[in-house]
Amino acid sequence: MARSRPPVASARRAWLSRAAVAAALPAAWLAGCRRSDPERELRATIERMARAIEQHQPGDFLDALADDFTRDSGVFGKQEARRLLAGVLLRNEKIVLSAVVTDLQVSGDRARVTLRVLATGARAGGLIPERGQTWEFESAWRRVDGRWQVFNAEWREGL
């Protein structure tokens, strides 16, 4: 005579099986999301650059600029960007940036990104920004050793 399982043990085993499947599905989904997504990586890099300026960490910002960075409209490289950033950080103890990507095109390990930036600055403790400015940026990026770096940019003051 075959021995039957008690109904409680059978129900518990079925519940555990369903729970294991339910736990495995999100893990499998997350593993699938870990693949490289150039657009997401670029947006994250831009966000890190903005936070670096807000936190007065110029080195973190400059890490995203290629060593051969240039500006189209003149002789302006990474060293000039470093000097410009130092001046901005000295004049503004508190900086808030909002960067909005308006166009992003990826082609292999190259990308073009257009973004609009709103920056406000103030002395420490200032509740109301003392100055503000918008800019429009056109930038060219390349992926080097798995990291996106901007190698060329042009910008102009916004409205």
Give tens-digit pLDDT for 52-73.
Answer: 999 999 999 999 999 999 997 7
Instruction: Return the structure tokens found at 124.
Output: 């420490």
CA 5, CA 58: separation in Å to the nearest integer? 68
What residues have CB less than 8 Å from 6, skipping those under 6 apart? Answer: none
Is the model's pLDDT at 95 over the cut of 60?
yes
CB atoms near residue 115 (< 10 Å): 20
> Could you tell me if 99 and 117 are in contact, meaning their C-beta atoms sit under 8 angstroms apart?
yes
Of the pLDDT bands very low, low, confident and very high (cuts 50, 70, 90), residue 24 is very low
CA 87, CA 81: separation in Å to the nearest integer? 10
3-class DSSP state of 131: strand
Closest by CA position to 100, among listed 47, 51, 41, 159:
47
Is the model's pLDDT at 23 over the cut of 50?
no
Cβ neighbourhood burial of 23 (10 Å; 0-12, 13-18, 19+): exposed
pLDDT of residue 131: 84
Instruction: Measure Cα distances from 62 to 36, 53, 87, 114 in Å.
Output: 23, 10, 14, 19
pLDDT digits (tens, 9 = 90+) for 118-155: 999 887 776 677 888 999 999 999 999 999 999 999 99
3-class DSSP state of 82: helix
β-bridge partners, 96? 120
Is the model's pLDDT at 76 over the cut of 50?
yes
Q: Could you tell me what percent of the chain has a pLDDT over 90?
A: 60
pLDDT of residue 80: 93
Of the pLDDT bands very low, low, confident and very high (cuts 50, 70, 90), residue 91 is confident
pLDDT of residue 20: 46
